[in-house]
Chain A
Amino acid sequence: MSGSTAVARVPFEQALESFEPVLGLETHVELGTASKMFCGCATEFGGSPNTQVCPTCLGLPGSLPVVNAVAVESTIRMGLALHCDIASWCRFARKNYFYPDMPKDYQISQYDEPLCFDGYLDVVVATDDGPREFRVEIERVHMEEDTGKLTHAGGDTGRIHGADYSLVDYNRAGIPLIEIVTKPIAGAGALAPLVARAYVTELRDLMRALGVSDVRMDQGSLRCDVNVSLAPAGAPWGTRSETKNVNSLRSVERAVRFEIERQAAVLTSGDRVIQETRHFHEDTGETTPGRSKEHAEDYRYFPEPDLVPVAPSEDWIEQLRSTLPEVPSARRARLRDEWGISDLEMQTLVNAEALELVEATIAAGVDQSAARKWWTGEFTRIANEQGVALEDLLITPAHITRVEALIADGSLTDKLARSVFEGVLAGEGDVDQVIAERGLVVVGDDSTLMSAIEQALADQPDIAEKIRGGKVQAAGAIVGAVMKATKGQADAAKVRALLLAHLGVEE
């Protein structure tokens, strides 16, 4: 059940005075291959239920799996990008347990022979004392298959508790899933929540750069389970909890934070932390216990006899190594230098998830400062207002290029430009169409402006005196009036200049 029920927590800073957290992060990446891991079914998201299935992914009697070559390639590339060793020989294994979303009632995975192992990923977190780098060690990267999708029916909440029955769609069953497991992350202290978030973020960006997956947490192509344990400084590591249903980067941070606070309260009161799987709630930022299992699962792993070992040759590995792209951290440093911006400015771009958009906009010919301004300013504001991701807004670099060109030649002011973008976002057409439709033309012709200025002066007679008397800032009132009269289409700077000239006053 969601909803806070006053779970005992020790405030974060206080918790860290007595305890040191150790983290473990398990992420699953759904590969963007055309076909499934072990069969030729399509992998498109959102297909009509049970239309992307075949004997193999349905686990029909007599069916057999055959490994997708691109899935193996992608896994090796992921391993190389994470500085892992690549196994010279490894096998798949069966993980045996019964669950209705698993057609064979076993999952083909890898057990003690992962394809990639012993790597690391460096992440940077912002602290008050400046950026701090952490090396997160990677235990393993291995291949497995995804399960079908269950919807629970008959109960109140659509959640599993209280459901009368369930419905299964196997479209997703068999889609390649790559599991990345970190070694225990110790020593992050109070930065633990940020380190966790930074790791998942960096991992996500790396997967995108490799082109192996969409890695969208909101669509399930990147999933993260968070493991947290606490122990007093110097003591052996504590019992860990595992938290699932962590569906955004922010949730990763919040889940770690909550678990630290919760476990601190448990330990402080003299109780023991239960090793259990917990469920994260987006609305409250809390975790609640999952189903407690009466009997521990025994997966009875054994080598998958229907598949032969995977033994990548040195040549193949080197060929794949040559396909690795520039890693995100290197790319960020390069762009920062190219654009001549500071680390903080780069961090702002990253936090706003605007880096790629800015890069594309600059590539389209827009000045870097303008590109950054629009994306991290106006568009971020709009995206937040509409509750959508920045990349989902219907603004393209081409729109921005056009607008900037019009600003440069004086056809648009900054203010008018915002109206233009508003129109484009509302689907009223491209830049020129919106300008025509809305009549967004800069009123820049002197005589029109002068009439408006004279009118404004006439309406506020004492202002002229004030300005002549030295209170130049009073000009703002006249400029404002002119702007109003021209429906915001006057070039404010020009109005001001004309006004002052008219009054014979220097700035």
Chain B
Amino acid sequence: MAAITRAEVEHLARLARLELTEGEIDHYAEQLSAIVDAVARVSEVTAQDIPPTSHPIPVTNTFRPDLVRPGVDRDEIAASAPAWEDDRFRVPRILGES
């Protein structure tokens, strides 16, 4: 049984930047445990020498030439920005120091 604990959910929430409520932590711990148990069936496949598949279709070497092409207008991205100052995205203070 995988049993995802509260502490693990808190850890995952931190890694994934999700500010869960207390109730959510317990709720998800239970649900995630059930799901992980179900998906862990993949471990029943025990043969050692199976190569993993990361790309379903065997294509390699897709490149583009080193040419400049037009991007997006600054005005358009500014329009969608939650906060914008001095032609740049304004973001809250980093590092949590006051």
Interface of chain A: mostly helix, strand, loop or mixed: loop
A308 at the interface (CB under 8 A from B): yes
Residue contact B64 to A69, C-beta cutoff 8 Å:
yes
Give 1 or 0 for each of B12-53: 1 = CB within 8 Å of chain A CB: 001101000000000000000000000000000000000000
A91 at the interface (CB under 8 A from B): yes
* Chain A interface, number of residues (Cβ within 8 angstroms): 58
- A123 shortest CB reach to chain B, Å: 31
B72 contacts across to A, CB distance below 8 A: 53-55, 58
Residue contact A291 to B71, C-beta cutoff 8 Å:
no
Instruction: Please tell me which one of the listed residues B14, B66, B68, B91 contacts residue A168 in the complex, with CB atoms under 8 A apart.
Output: B91
Residue contact A151 to B67, C-beta cutoff 8 Å:
no
- A64 shortest CB reach to chain B, Å: 11
A161 at the interface (CB under 8 A from B): yes
Q: Which of under 10, 10 to 19, 20 to 34, or 35 or more describes the interface residues of B?
A: 35 or more
Residue contact A41 to B68, C-beta cutoff 8 Å:
yes
- A37 shortest CB reach to chain B, Å: 10
Closest to A313 in B: B61
Complex CA distance for A298 and B55, rounded to whole angstroms: 24
Residue contact A66 to B97, C-beta cutoff 8 Å:
no
Complex CA distance for A329 and B90, rounded to whole angstroms: 47
Residue contact A35 to B66, C-beta cutoff 8 Å:
yes
Closest to B78 in A: A50
Give 1 or 0 for each of A151-178: 1 = CB within 8 Å of chain B CB: 1111000001111111111100000000
Residue contact B69 to A167, C-beta cutoff 8 Å:
no
B46-88, CB < 8 A from A: 54-55, 59-72, 74, 77-78, 85-88
Interface of chain B: mostly helix, strand, loop or mixed: loop
Closest to B17 in A: A98
A273-304, CB < 8 A from B: 291, 295, 298, 300, 302-303
Give 1 or 0 for each of A87-99: 1 = CB within 8 Å of chain B CB: 0010100000011
B55 contacts across to A, CB distance below 8 A: 303, 305, 308-309
Give 1 or 0 for each of A37-63: 1 = CB within 8 Å of chain B CB: 001111000001111111101100000
Closest to B72 in A: A54
Instruction: Please tell me which one of the listed residues A40, A50, A161 contacts residue B95 in the complex, with CB atoms under 8 A apart.
Output: A161
Instruction: Please tell me which one of the listed residues B54, B62, B94 contacts residue A152 in the complex, with CB atoms under 8 A apart.
Output: B94
Given A42-B68, A298-B15: A308 touches B61 (CB 8 Å cut-off): yes
Residue contact A308 to B62, C-beta cutoff 8 Å:
yes
Closest to B69 in A: A40
- B91 shortest CB reach to chain A, Å: 4
B92 contacts across to A, CB distance below 8 A: 165-166
Give 1 or 0 for each of A173-198: 1 = CB within 8 Å of chain B CB: 00000000000000000000000000
B15 contacts across to A, CB distance below 8 A: 298, 300
The CB with the most chain A CB atoms within 10 A, among B59, B89, B90, B93, is that of B89
Closest to A96 in B: B15
A1-57, CB < 8 A from B: 33-35, 39-42, 48-55, 57
Complex CA distance for A52 and B88, rounded to whole angstroms: 12
Complex CA distance for A496 and B22, rounded to whole angstroms: 97
Given A35-B67, A40-B69: A311 touches B91 (CB 8 Å cut-off): no
Q: A70-B66, A161-B95 are in contact. List 19 more A-B contacts (CB 8 A).
A: A35-B68, A41-B69, A50-B74, A53-B72, A54-B70, A57-B71, A98-B17, A160-B95, A162-B97, A163-B94, A164-B93, A166-B90, A167-B91, A169-B88, A308-B55, A308-B61, A308-B62, A311-B60, A311-B61
Name A residues whose Cβ lies closer than 8 Å to a Cβ of B.
33-35, 39-42, 48-55, 57-58, 66-72, 89, 91, 98-100, 150-154, 160-170, 291, 295, 298, 300, 302-303, 305, 307-312
Name B residues whose Cβ lies closer than 8 Å to a Cβ of A.
14-15, 17, 54-55, 59-72, 74, 77-78, 85-95, 97-98
- Top 9 nearest A-B pairs by Cβ distance? A54-B71, A40-B69, A69-B63, A70-B66, A167-B88, A303-B54, A49-B87, A100-B91, A168-B89
